[in-house]
Amino acid sequence: MSDTSTHLGLPYLLAAQAQKHVTHNESLRLLDAMVQLSVLDRTRTTPPVSPTDGDRHLVASGATGLWAGWDLNVAFWVDGVWMRLVPRPGWLVWIAAEQAFVVWNGSAWDPVGVPQDVSDAIFSLVNDADPTKKALFSLSGITTGTTRTYSLPNTSSELAILAGTQTFTGNKTFSGTMTASGTVTVSAASASIGTATTTATYGMGTGATTTGVTKTVNLGTGGASGSTTVVNIGSATAGAGGTTVVNTPTVTFANAVTQVGMPQANLTAQLLGLGGATADSYNRVSVNTPALLFNNAGTGIEATVNKAAAGNDAAFAFKTGFSARALIGLLGNDDFSFKVSPDGSAFFEAIRIDRTNGRPTLPQGAILGNLAADPAGRADGWIWFNATAQRLRARADGVDFNLGPYTGTGVLAVGDNALEASTVIAAPGVLPTSLITVSLALSIDADENSPELLDLVTLWGEAGADQIILNATFSGPTSGPVKINWSAN
C-alpha cells in the first residue's frame, strides 16, 4: 500500500505512527492549497520578496533560485516556506491577475472558455454513433499571416464552409462580407441581398474573368411553363424614384425576347437597333421591318421632324440600294418641296409649296396623262388632256371646255351653180358651246383665181358635238370647193 493518495498525493497516517498529527496536518495543508485552487499570477520565475502566508503562484518557465526546476508547477507559501505542488492532468486553476481559468493538460496550462491553438493536421470532429461521419478542418487554403474568426451558431447565423455546396433554409442574415466561391442555394421563400440604406457595394459574378472563359450569372431562372418570374433590378416598386446604372458595353439575350413590358418607363439609349438591325453613330435608330405602325394614344397623333436652322434639311429620303431617288420635306429652306434624282447625286425639284401663301409651283413643268376620252366622274376644277381630241380641257360650273384655241382647216363643198352651201366637218373636242371663227384659206386652185371667192358674200361656222358646220352664201351661182380655216374656243 502506498503512503500517499493516488491523485492528490496526500500522506496517509501509518499504523503505530508517532506524532500522527504531523501527517494529518500535512494532508490538511495540501488540501487547503489544492481544493478550490486559485493563484495570484503565472508570470514569475522567482519568488516574491515578501509573500503572505497562503499565497500561491503558477511558476513561469525558466524559474531560478528557490523555484528552480518548478516550471509550470504551483508554488505555495505556508508556515514560512515554499511548498511545490506538481499538477495532475485536469487540475483547474483560477488566475486572479488575469481573471481567467486554466486547465493542466499534462504539458501546458490551457485557457478555459477562449480559443485554443490546435494543429489542423489532427483537428477533426467525429460522430459518436457513426464514426464515418467526420468534419475535418484544414488551414492550407488560408494565406500566411491571415487570421479568420468564426462565431458559433446562434439564432440568426450558422457556421458554414462557403467554398463548398451550401443550402440555407429559414432566416439567415449576413451582416458583413459574404464571399461564395462554390454553389450557394437559398431555398427560403424570401431572400434579400443588399438591404443597406447607406453607401454599399454588392457583387455577383465579379472578378477578372480569364480571356476565353465564360462566366454565367443566373437571375430568376428555373421558371416552369405558365409561371411568372419577376426580376427587379433597382427599385422593387414600379415607378419608384432613384437611378439604376448598368455598367457594361454589351448586353446579349441568348434566346428570342418576344416582349419587353416597361409600364410608365422612360427609355434613354445612345443607339437602338430593332429587327436585327445594327445602329451606328449616324443611324442611331435602325429598324428592319416590313411595316411600321404609329397609332394615336389620344385624340390624334403627330410625328415631328425638326431642324435647327432654315438652311438645313428636315426630310424623308426614299432610296434604292441606299442611293436617294426622292426627297420630301424642308430642303435647304422653309418651303415644302418634292425632289427626285436619277442617280442619288443630281436632284430635280418637282414641286415647291410657298410657305408664305401655300401656292404650289412646278419648276419642271407638268405633263398631263393621255386620256382617250373625257374622264368619267369629272367635277368642277378638273383639268385633263384628251388625246383623241388632242385638246387640253377643263370643267367649271358643270360645263366641260377646252383650254386655249383649237384650230383646223376644212373644205366647203359647193354644188353646181349654188348661191349657198353647208358642209359638216369632224372636229373632235369641239363642244356645242364652243365659239367658232372661220376665214378663207388660200385658194385650192393653183392660179388662186377661183371664181367662187369673188362671189362670196358671207361665211360662218356653227359648233356641234365634235364637229363644225361650215356655211357660206354667194352673190351669184357658184360651183367647186372652198378652203376654210377655222378655230374653236
- The Cα-based distances of 208 to 179, 181, 358, 477 in angstroms read 15, 14, 65, 121
Burial class (CB in 10 A: 0-12, 13-18, 19+), 313: middle
| Count of beta carbons in the 10 Å neighbourhood of residue 246 | 7
For residue 447, the model assigns a pLDDT of: 46
> Strand, coil or helix: what is 489?
coil
Q: Among candidates 377, 378, 332, 371, which has minimal Cα distance to 355? A: 332
Provide the whole-model pTM.
Answer: 0.45
Average pLDDT, the chain: 81
For Cα atoms 38, 40, 46, give the angle at the middle one, nearest 5 degrees. Answer: 125
Name the grid cell of 30: 495540501
- Of 185-194, 215-224, 333-342, 383-392, minimum mean pLDDT range: 185-194
pLDDT at 252: 77
**For residues 211-234, average pLDDT:** 80
- Is pLDDT larger for residue 13 or for residue 145? 145
pLDDT at 450 over 60: no
Q: Is residue 166 scored above 70 in pLDDT? A: no
pLDDT of residue 212: 86
Select, from the ranges 138-147, 345-354, 414-423, the one with the highest average predicted confidence (pLDDT).
345-354
Q: Quickly state the pLDDT bin for 157 (edges 50, 70, 90).
A: very low
Write the Ramachandran bin of 263: left for phi over 0, alpha for psi from -120 to 50, otherwise beta.
beta
pLDDT digits (tens, 9 = 90+) for 266-291: 778 889 999 889 999 999 999 999 99
Asked if the model's pLDDT at residue 163 lies above 60, the reply is no
**pLDDT for the residue 127:** 86
Q: What is the mean pLDDT of residues 403-418?
A: 82
Confidence band (pLDDT; 50, 70, 90) for 73?
Answer: very high
Distance CA 244, CA 233 (A): 8
Residue 67 DSSP class: G
Residue that is written with C-alpha cell 428592319 in the block = 288
> What pLDDT score was predicted for residue 351?
96
Q: What is the pLDDT of residue 321?
A: 96
pLDDT at 452 over 60: no
* Distant-in-sequence, close-in-space partners of 419: CB < 8 Å, separation ≥ 6: 473, 474, 476, 477, 478
Q: Which of 214-228, 350-364, 385-399, 418-432 has the highest mean pLDDT?
A: 350-364
Residue 117 has pLDDT above 50, yes or no: yes
What are the Cα distances from residue 62, in Å, to 37, 45, 77, 138, 326?
Answer: 23, 6, 20, 34, 105
| pLDDT score recorded for residue 234 | 66
With a cut of 70, say whether residue 241 has pLDDT above it: no
Decide if pLDDT at 97 tops 70: yes
pLDDT for the residue 422: 92
Q: Distance between CA 54 and CA 48 in Å, rounded?
A: 13
383 in Cβ contact with 393 (< 8 Å): yes
Looking up cell 508547477, which residue turns up? 73
Could you give the angle at the alpha carbon of 317 between the alpha carbons of 312 and 320, nearest 5°? 145
- Flag the least confident range among 388-397, 441-450, 454-463: 441-450
pLDDT for res 448: 47
So what's the pLDDT on residue 203? 78
* Residue 188 reports pLDDT greater than 70: no
**Rounded to 5, what percent of the chain is helix, strand, coil?**
5, 30, 65
Q: Is the pLDDT of residue 189 over 70?
A: no
Range in 48-52, 334-338, 365-369 with the lowest mean pLDDT: 365-369
In tens, the pLDDT along 121-139 reads: 667 788 888 988 888 777 7
DSSP line for 271-329? -EEETT----SSS-EEE--S------SSS--------SSTTSEEEEEEEETTEEEEEEE
Q: Which pLDDT tens digit goes with each residue over 9-66?
A: 555 566 656 666 556 556 656 665 556 688 999 999 999 999 998 898 999 999 999 9
> What is the pLDDT, as a whole number, of residue 229?
80
CA distance 37 to 415: 169
Pick from 180, 205, 207, 203: nearest CA to 193: 203
Pairing of strands 323-331, 336-340: antiparallel
Q: Is the distance from CB of 468 to CB of 436 less than 8 angstroms?
A: yes
